[in-house]
Amino acid sequence: MKFSNELYHCLTRRVAWEAVFRIRTSTGFNQIASYGNIQIKNKTNDLILYPSVDLDRVVTYELEKTDSNLAGQGEDPNRAARRDTSHIYIQSALLYSTSEGERRIRVHNIAVPLTNLKHLPYEHMDVTAVVHFWSRIALRRQATNLNFQVCRSTIEMYLTNMCRAFLKSQSNLSKAQLPDQFQYLVMYVLGLLKLPVMCPYDPKTQKAMVTMETLDPMTFVRYSMNHMSPEEVLLMFNPWIMNIHDYNLSDQEVPGLEALDRSVL
C-alpha cells in the first residue's frame, strides 16, 4: 500500500522543467549559503539550476544581517529614510516550463517581522525548522569531510551556542530559565545525533563504522534528508506518542508531541 501510494504521487504530481530559482532580500541582509540537493550555476552565487523540480523539494537558505552603516553607504537619503527596519522582505522567483511546454515565472513575497528584544526570538522560534537547518549544515559537512564526529560536534556546538546566547541576553541571570521550546530542541537534537546518517552502526560487529552494507542505506537517507521538509525530517527521529485507550482515534489523527499533556502520558 505504501509503495502504491508513493508511486501514484510521483506519477501525478505537477513537475516544473528546465527551471532556475533565486531569492532576493531587502537591504541589510545577505544570502551566504544554500543547502539541499541543488546545483549552483557557474559564475553565480545564488542561481539554482533545476532540470526538474516538484513540490516535494525543499531548499534551505542561510541569511546574514549586514552592518547598518555599511548597508546605507551610497544610498539616496530619502530612500534610506523610507526603509522599513521592522521587517525583512524576501522574494523568491522560479522560472520554469510546464509539462504543456509553456514558459512561466512564479514569484512569492513574504515579510518577516524583526525585533530588538533579544528574548523574543527564543520564545517564539520554530524548533522543527531550527533542527532541520542544523541537519542540512551537518550533511553539507559530510559532503566534504566524511568525519561523523565532526558532523555531530557541529550540531552540538550550535545547540550550546544558542543556549549560551539566550542566557547572556537575560538581564537577571539568577532567575533566567530556558523557554519550553528548548526542552523539545534538546530532545530533537539527541534524536538527530542518533540517526544512522550521523552515527552509522554495523549490526554484525556492533560497532560504529561504515561498511559496504551500511554505505548505500546511509547515502539514500542523506539524499532524502537533503530535500525533505522540516516536518518530514522530524518524523525520522521524533517518536509518535498517542493515547492507546482512545478507541476513536483514527490513523490520520496523530497528535503532535507538543500537543500532548503530561497528565495523559
Q: Do residues 121 and 240 share a domain?
A: yes
pLDDT digits (tens, 9 = 90+) for 12-67: 888 999 999 999 998 888 888 899 888 888 888 889 999 989 888 899 999 988 86
pLDDT digits (tens, 9 = 90+) for 232-242: 888 887 766 66
Residue 228 lies in a domain: yes
What length is written for the chain? Answer: 265
φ/ψ of 206, rounded to 5, equals: 55, 40
CATH of the domain at 44: 2.60.40.1670
Q: Do residues 89 and 173 share a domain?
A: no
Contacts of 221 (CB under 8 A, 6+ apart): 195, 196, 197, 236
CATH of the domain at 151: 1.20.120.730
Question: What's the rounded Cα separation, in Å, for the pair 37 and 206?
Answer: 31
Q: Do residues 95 and 176 share a domain?
A: no
Q: Do residues 96 and 127 share a domain?
A: no
Contacts of 13 (CB under 8 A, 6+ apart): 54, 55, 56
92: containing domain: 1-114
Q: Do residues 48 and 124 share a domain?
A: no
Reference 238, options 214, 257, 224, 259; nearest CA is 257
pLDDT of residue 257: 47
Q: Do residues 39 and 91 share a domain?
A: yes
Indicate if the pLDDT at residue 100 is higher than 80: yes
pLDDT of residue 110: 93
Residue 250 lies in a domain: no
Contacts of 18 (CB under 8 A, 6+ apart): 50, 51, 96, 97
Q: Which of 94, 114, 134 is the last residue of a domain?
A: 114
Q: Do residues 76 and 132 share a domain?
A: no
Burial class (CB in 10 A: 0-12, 13-18, 19+), 143: exposed
Number of structural domains the chain divides into: 2
Residue 261 lies in a domain: no
Q: Do residues 30 and 140 share a domain?
A: no
